Amino acid sequence: MDPVQQYRSLLFSIAYRLTGSASQAEDIVQDAYLRYRQTDTESIQSPKAYLTTIVTNLSLNYLKSAHVQREEYIGIWLPEPVLTSVDVEESPETKIERQESLSMAFLVLLETLTPPERAVFLFHEVFDYSFAEIANILEKSPANCRQIFHRAKSHLAEKRQRVELKPENQRQLLDSFVAACQSGNMATLTQLLASDVTAWADGGGKVHTSLLPVSGQEKVAKLFIALWRKVPADHQLFVEEVNGTPAFLSWSNAHLNWVLLPDIRDNAVVGLYSILSPDKLAYLQRQLEQRRGYTGQ
């Protein structure tokens, strides 16, 4: 099997978690493929290590330019959502780890790290690379990589709360949330929200959204009740696993309008991530069209 095809899933996973962009991750993997084909493959001892190094370097280079772009970004920047429902058999532990490392909350938290910290943390914590392997990829010493990892882990530990995800409970709570929004039931909606709940919305400057996060039970409840009243009657709601959690997607006229991803802990919604930017939704729409044949009709 062609090495790029063999490791495509791994390479995409690395690039996506590093960049937060599914479309950019696709381009990076394709670029890695072209570079691999132009190289004397007989001189490559480990195609996996070689391709991983290329993808990592391309991702880190992208982050340098993305930093400037995000400073000029209109409103709140969120990672691109991706469809994560899979048909392969996974152990409960593996599925939980995959879901947690792809959650919107986790990807947003990774943005607080420097690119080198993000790379070292992901390789060691998520992809189980040794510090020696990471050192070869990043051209640093194993000791330096170990220091970077502990610094990153310590930083994330202050804000990161790992929980065992239970999709059936999440779906039930999400259904109750939407029902309360649709009926305008302020009391029920407030009960579903944590006291410090925060809502983020990414419109990319192309769809009108709040430019700042909205926090607090009452403010978030009022916001979503008001927003739900503005949802056109022809919108159809679907539930899919997006970034490891059940999420609501709105369709109309064969077009994906928005996706709402909840962050649920202790049977309460602590975070709500709404992505409305057409650019951010393009990859997810392609995934859904290919795998589920959605037409929005």
pLDDT, tens only, 135-183: 999 999 999 999 999 999 999 987 766 555 466 777 888 899 999 999 9
Q: Are 148 and 173 part of one and the same domain?
A: no
User: Mean of the pLDDT values across residues 224-234?
Assistant: 87
CATH code assigned at 27 = 1.20.140.160
* Residues facing 263 on adjacent strands: 271
Largest CA distance in the chain: 67
Spatial separation of the C-alpha atoms in residues 124 and 101, rounded to whole Å? 12
Q: Is residue 236 part of a domain?
A: yes
* pLDDT at residue 94 tops 80: no
Half-sphere exposure of 136 (CA within 13 A, CB side): 11
Quick check: pTM over 0.85?
yes
End position of a domain, from candidates 128, 157, 186: 157
Tokens matching residue 64: 């340098």
Q: Are 96 and 237 part of one and the same domain?
A: no
Q: Are 36 and 83 part of one and the same domain?
A: yes
Q: Is 206 helix (H, G, I), strand (E, B) or coil?
A: coil
Q: Are 148 and 180 part of one and the same domain?
A: no
Under the banding of pLDDT at 50, 70 and 90, the label for residue 88 is: very low
* pLDDT at residue 68 tops 60: yes
**Residue 282, C-beta contacts closer than 8 angstroms, at least 6 positions apart:** 23
Q: Is residue 162 part of a domain?
A: no
> CB–CB of 62/24 below 8 Å?
yes
Q: Is residue 40 part of a domain?
A: yes
Q: Are 177 and 151 part of one and the same domain?
A: no
* pLDDT at residue 127 tops 90: yes
Q: Are 134 and 172 part of one and the same domain?
A: no
User: Which residue segment(s) compose the domain that 29 sits in?
Assistant: 3-157
Q: Is residue 131 part of a domain?
A: yes
Q: Are 142 and 171 part of one and the same domain?
A: no
- Structure-model confidence comparison of residues 292 and 142, the more confident one: 142
Q: Is residue 120 part of a domain?
A: yes
End position of a domain, from candidates 132, 157, 182: 157
Q: What is the pLDDT of residue 70?
A: 77
Comparing 34-38, 134-138, 279-283, the range with the smallest average pLDDT is: 34-38
Q: Are 194 and 275 part of one and the same domain?
A: yes
Please tell me the total count of domains within the chain: 2
Q: What is the pLDDT of residue 93?
A: 44
**Quick one: what percent of the chain has pLDDT higher than 90?**
60
Q: Is residue 296 part of a domain?
A: no
Q: Is residue 255 part of a domain?
A: yes
> CB–CB of 76/202 below 8 Å?
yes
Under the banding of pLDDT at 50, 70 and 90, the label for residue 97 is: low
Q: What is the pLDDT of residue 232?
A: 82
Q: What are the φ/ψ torsions at residue 83 (nearest 5 degrees)?
A: -75, 130
End position of a domain, from candidates 118, 134, 157: 157
**Residue 258, C-beta contacts closer than 8 angstroms, at least 6 positions apart:** 207, 249, 250, 274, 275, 276, 281
Q: Are 142 and 35 part of one and the same domain?
A: yes
CATH code assigned at 185 = 3.10.450.50
* pLDDT at residue 53 tops 50: yes
* Complete DSSP assignment for 85-138: ---S---HHHHHHHHHHH-HHHHHHHTTS-HHHHHHHIIIIIS---HHHHHHHH
The overall average pLDDT reported for the chain is: 87
Q: What is the pLDDT of residue 199?
A: 97
Q: Is residue 297 part of a domain?
A: no
Q: Are 281 and 243 part of one and the same domain?
A: yes
| 7-21, 54-68, 99-113, 151-165, range with greatest mean pLDDT | 7-21
Q: Are 205 and 259 part of one and the same domain?
A: yes
Q: Are 196 and 242 part of one and the same domain?
A: yes
**pLDDT (tens digit, 9 = 90+) per residue, 242-261?**
998 889 999 988 889 999 99
